[in-house]
Structure 1
Amino acid sequence: MFKIVVTDYEFANLAPELEVFGAADVEFVTGPFESREALAEACGDADAIINQYVELDAGFIGRLERCAVICRYGIGVNTIDVDAATAAGIMVANVPDGSLDDVSDHAAAMILSLSRGLGSYDRAIRAGVWDYAAAKPLHRLRGRILGLVGFGNIPQRLAEKMQVFGMEILAFDPFVRAEKAAESGARLVGLEELAATSDVISVHVPLNDETRGLIGKDQLALMKPTSLIINTARGGIIDEDALTAALRAGRISGAGLDVFADEPLPAGSPFASLDNTVLSPHTAWYSEQSEHEIRTKTAQNALAALIDGRPLYLVNRDLKPRVVARRSLPL
């Protein structure tokens, strides 16, 4: 028998996960847990852990006696101390392909909404104002430049979609070759050139020590006053204080934000009171189809790691997996 613990989830039920486990001999523990200590005790002898938002730091991971794999719902693994897991011989798994179209569609929707002033027009009409100048000035997208911070699968799909609207594509990604970017119609540039040249910047890098605050006061100061910035990646990549100041002062035109340094967005956040923002609650990943795919593949990651010794999508490929004696069956 395998023990699998779900640290937290926001879904109505866990039917897709249970369907994957099917006839497998699995003890499935889901909480809710009354405290972090209760969660740590439940996970202490787990063979696999499934995680959504709860932070699994080095201290937590150090208490895992049997765990072979930690599986994260979705792409990002910033809730997991991957280095600590690797040092402990614990595999970390994610689902990198469960919402590629959904996130790129969401980023595109934010670009279109801001560039066409839809938020301003909506608020004006609801206030009884019928005026084309309520969102003035607007600029057509054709011939303008989209700068992509990161050029993995999601921004590549976004580039393809926005090229249909006539946008030119720049990208900053030190891990991508210029020839590879050119195949997708993008030109690689440095971050400063991207900030200064782009009419729209869309952020698509993971949150880690290297990317935290990657877009800060200096980069925002380089941007055009007519430019827009979009973040569907992770809060913390953009310095929110610097962004708030730039939006308030009109140093940039607007921002579309799906992610924030603190989530849920705290009451009184300045972003909620700014007219030049479009906000959503970390939902770029979501559609009915993507939710089912992500949850199914997360459960498959756990089961494959326990049965076959490797999840479908292994993040820390350089680890030496721990060897744990099989759980004794009850007499």
Structure 2
Amino acid sequence: MSAKYRVLITDRAWPDCEVEKQELARVDAEVIEAPPEADEATLVECASGVDAIATCWAQVTQAVIDAAPDCKTIARLGIGLDNIDVAYATSLKIPVTNVPDYCIPEVADHAIGLMLASLRNIAFLNQQTKQGIYDLSAAPVPRRVSSLTLGLFGFGLTGQAVAERARAFGMQVIATNSSGNDYGTGTRMVSFEELLE
């Protein structure tokens, strides 16, 4: 007996779709997995007759959507929607969803970690130490983090989370975005040119 629904998972960053299969089975849905790095033609073939499409980064184009005339929803398994033809899906009254807060703390933590590693020359000094060299003068003198200004290009949820973390280190934070909106954070919004200065 076939399942009531069919759900295409176009691509994934995790090892397998066992969790998705178990959860979707609860609503009598079968998971169709596209092969890794599937091109548009392959996705069109996989999308044939599915009721829903879930995607990470694969391009969900008009052709892919057209291959699924019974499609009821397209879900982006992450924040952005750039890989989905949202306008076309909307014209067909197919809702497109995403996860607007996916991994924001993790990305913000990672950005701060990379910034600190760069400011403190951690990778360089670690490599030197592994080679048996202990010479602090081999790297530029690190600057006190609290004396610096961090400029953020874009100020969405992730940028706001980075700003909050940078302020905890005593940094001044400025940002630029197309709207000039600081979203109530008190962050000084500047032009792109001033940000680069």
TM-score under structure 2 length normalisation? 0.87
The residue that corresponds to 1:42 in the other structure is 46
**2:133 pairs with 1:129:** yes
The residue that corresponds to 2:103 in the other structure is 99
Local SS of the residue matching 1:177 = coil
Quick one: which of 67, 70, 73 aligns to 1:69?
Answer: 73
Deviations 1:165-203 (A, max 9, x none): 11001111233535x3xx42410111111111xxxxxxx
Alignment of 1:185-204 (within 5 A): 185-196=186-197
8 A contact 2:7–2:52 mirrored in 1: yes
Quick one: which of 10, 15, 29 aligns to 2:18?
Answer: 15
8 A contact 2:81–2:98 mirrored in 1: yes
Quick one: which of 156, 170, 176 aligns to 2:160?
Answer: 156
Structure 1 residue 22: Cα displacement: 4.4
8 A contact 1:107–1:158 mirrored in 2: yes
8 A contact 2:24–2:31 mirrored in 1: no
Aligned-residue CA RMSD in angstroms? 2.1
Alignment of 1:1-331 (within 5 A): 1-32=4-35, 36=39, 37-178=41-182, 180=183, 183-196=184-197
8 A contact 2:44–2:63 mirrored in 1: no
Instruction: For structure 2, list consecutive stretches of 5 or more residues without a partner in the other structure.
Output: none
Structure 1 residue 138: Cα displacement: 2.1
Distance in 2, Cα, partners of 1:191 & 1:15: 45
Structure 1 residue 125: Cα displacement: 1.8
Local SS of the residue matching 2:160 = helix
Structure 1 residue 5: Cα displacement: 0.8
Distance in 2, Cα, partners of 1:97 & 1:12: 22
The residue that corresponds to 1:300 in the other structure is none
Structure 1 residue 20: Cα displacement: 3.0
8 A contact 1:169–1:185 mirrored in 2: no
Q: Which amino acid aligns with 1:72?
A: R
Aligned length: 193
Q: 1:18 to 1:62 in 2, by over 3 A?
A: closer
Local SS of the residue matching 1:142 = helix
Structure 1 residue 19: Cα displacement: 4.0
Q: Which of the pair has the greater relative contact order for Cα pairs under 8 Å at 6+ separation?
A: 1
Q: Which amino acid aligns with 2:24?
A: F
Local SS of the residue matching 2:44 = helix
Q: Which amino acid aligns with 2:157?
A: N
Structure 1 residue 109: Cα displacement: 0.4
Distance in 2, Cα, partners of 1:167 & 1:95: 30
Structure 1 residue 142: Cα displacement: 0.8
Distance in 1, Cα, partners of 2:139 & 2:91: 53
8 A contact 1:44–1:66 mirrored in 2: no
8 A contact 2:149–2:171 mirrored in 1: yes
Distance in 2, Cα, partners of 1:187 & 1:4: 45
Local SS of the residue matching 2:74 = strand
Distance in 1, Cα, partners of 2:94 & 2:85: 11
Distance in 1, Cα, partners of 2:38 & 2:172: 50
Distance in 2, Cα, partners of 1:11 & 1:34: 14
Structure 1 residue 110: Cα displacement: 0.6
Local SS of the residue matching 2:145 = coil
Distance in 2, Cα, partners of 1:89 & 1:147: 40
TM-score under structure 1 length normalisation? 0.54
Distance in 2, Cα, partners of 1:90 & 1:144: 47
Distance in 2, Cα, partners of 1:141 & 1:62: 53
8 A contact 2:20–2:31 mirrored in 1: no
Percent identical across equivalent pairs? 31
Instruction: For structure 1, list consecutive stretches of 5 or more residues without a partner in the other structure.
Output: 197-331
8 A contact 1:62–1:88 mirrored in 2: no
